[in-house]
Amino acid sequence: MADFGLIKSLARKTDTKIVMLVMDGLGGIPHPETLRTELEAAETHNLDRLARASQCGLSLPVAHGITPGSGPGHLALFGYDPIHYLIGRGILEALGLDMDVRAGDVAARGNFCTLGPDGLITDRRAGRISSDVTPGLTERLNRVSLRQAQAIARPGREHRFALLLRPAEGGPPLSHALTDSDPQREGLAPLPVTATEPWGEHTAEILNAFLDRATAAIANQHPANGLVLRGFSTRPDLPQMADVYGLTPIAIAPYPMYRGLAKLVGMNVVEAGDSIDDQIETARRHWDEHDFFFIHYKSTDSGGEDGDYDAKVEAINRLDRSLPALLDLDPDVLIVAGDHSTPTALAEHSWHPVPILIKSRHVARGFTEAFSERECLRGMLGTISATDIMPLALANAGKLDKFGA
């Protein structure tokens, strides 16, 4: 829901604990030959047993037919209407690189590219330069000095980087109402940044000055002798989970982007460890201090994005083997969800509804016999909006008062 008024008015603090395990890109579609989805092919004895004792269903991250990015997918799981609360691509990229994004900063995604002698882009990805080379290039960008702002670049994988433009102390505020400099095609020159609102002109001037000087600073490099920027955006001002739910949430996520998303909604983001077993151990260590635990499992999505069916199946198997350690924590409410589907047949995020299970002492059971897309269809939850998951979690944890007399 876009407005947390009702939930906020009913939320009450209790000692009960909620664990939300997000298996990134969880949902899939049948393999063209075996007709089994990755979840159906996986050995999920633990998840299946859990599903039989849970309320199961399918969750829609945004709406039927809409394929969400990681930002909307996670915001919906945290109960935030993903259409109302938008997070720009630049911000998401900066968060993904663990940058310290502050209120007032304008963020952008950057690519290093190859420019021909005529200034036209000959390769948008500069031959996918090695990730070892990129830090030297961003180092040159960081030495570019600007009036009334500071540019902070951080290297990503291969040709990618993120840029933060930070207003000078006491200087005028910056705007994200800007067009991309990335023409998104080869054979064209990088575009000047232009303002889409009058109040963006000052920032466009600063960025064009930056782009000129930055291009000059790497002009003698090869093959990455140019750069383009896109997705200008600022840090959104999101309601905090402590305020709207009365929770004391913690994020146990190894990957920077999810850590950044968790920070935006007010979670305590801690050192997670590398494996899911480490993450569960981290949850145990912080068990007494928190009442909401967001645990992010990335491998399911990675297998899906790579179009590697076996890798995704094995990622599910691995999670299933670690599940008993999570159950040992004995949370009052355990949610196993996904932020979106990533079918290996598509090798990218998709719009398909995502299996979800909610386990508590107060379960109304349907007909689900295993944890899979089809079996969850037979669950008592039916197909719900992902933004309904948090109210259900709070209700099952006894953290919501009755509405009305």
Footprint on this chain of its own copies (rule: CB under 8 A): 6, 10, 27-30, 35, 37, 58, 62-72, 82-83, 86-89, 92-93, 231, 341, 343, 345-346, 348-353, 361-367, 373-374, 377-378, 380-384, 388, 390-396, 400-405
**What's the start-to-end Cα distance of the chain, in Å?**
23
Q: What is the DSSP letter of 289?
A: G
380: its two tokens: 């008592």
Give the nearest distance from C-beta 326 to its own copies in angstroms. Answer: 23
CB 72 within 8 A of CB 240: no
Give the nearest distance from C-beta 392 to its own copies in angstroms. Answer: 4
Give the nearest distance from C-beta 109 to its own copies in angstroms. Answer: 8
Residue nearer to its own copies on the CB measure, 63 or 219: 63
Residue nearer to its own copies on the CB measure, 147 or 185: 185
Q: How far apart are CA 380 and CA 286, in angstroms?
A: 32
Residue nearer to its own copies on the CB measure, 303 or 391: 391
Give the nearest distance from C-beta 339 to its own copies in angstroms. Answer: 11
Residue 10 CB partners (closer than 8 Å, separation 6+): 400, 401, 402, 403
Q: How far apart are CA 149 and CA 166, in angstroms?
A: 5
Give the nearest distance from C-beta 397 to its own copies in angstroms. Answer: 10
Q: How many CB atoms lie within 10 A of CB 137?
A: 24
CB 79 within 8 A of CB 11: no
Sheet strand arrangement including 382-385: 268-269, 249-252, 292-297, 18-23, 333-337, 354-359, 55-60, 382-385
Residue nearer to its own copies on the CB measure, 93 or 320: 93
Residue nearer to its own copies on the CB measure, 271 or 401: 401
347-380: b (≥16 Cβ within 10 Å) or e: eebbbbbbbbbbbbeeeeebebebbbbbbbbebe
Residue nearer to its own copies on the CB measure, 167 or 379: 379
**Look-up: residue for tokens 């913690």?**
250
Residue nearer to its own copies on the CB measure, 169 or 403: 403
Task: Give the torsion sign (CA, 179, 180, 181, 186).
Answer: negative
Give the nearest distance from C-beta 17 to its own copies in angstroms. Answer: 17
Residue nearer to its own copies on the CB measure, 70 or 225: 70
Q: How far apart are CA 32 and CA 93, in angstroms?
A: 34
Give the nearest distance from C-beta 264 to its own copies in angstroms. Answer: 13
**Three-class SS state of 227:** strand
Give the nearest distance from C-beta 198 to its own copies in angstroms. Answer: 24
Pure H helices in 11-160: 38-41, 45-52, 70-77, 89-96, 134-142
Q: How far apart are CA 64 and CA 84, in angstroms?
A: 17
Give the nearest distance from C-beta 224 to its own copies in angstroms. Answer: 23
Residue nearer to its own copies on the CB measure, 227 or 376: 376
Q: How far apart are CA 109 and CA 184, in angstroms?
A: 13
Q: What is the DSSP letter of 288?
A: G
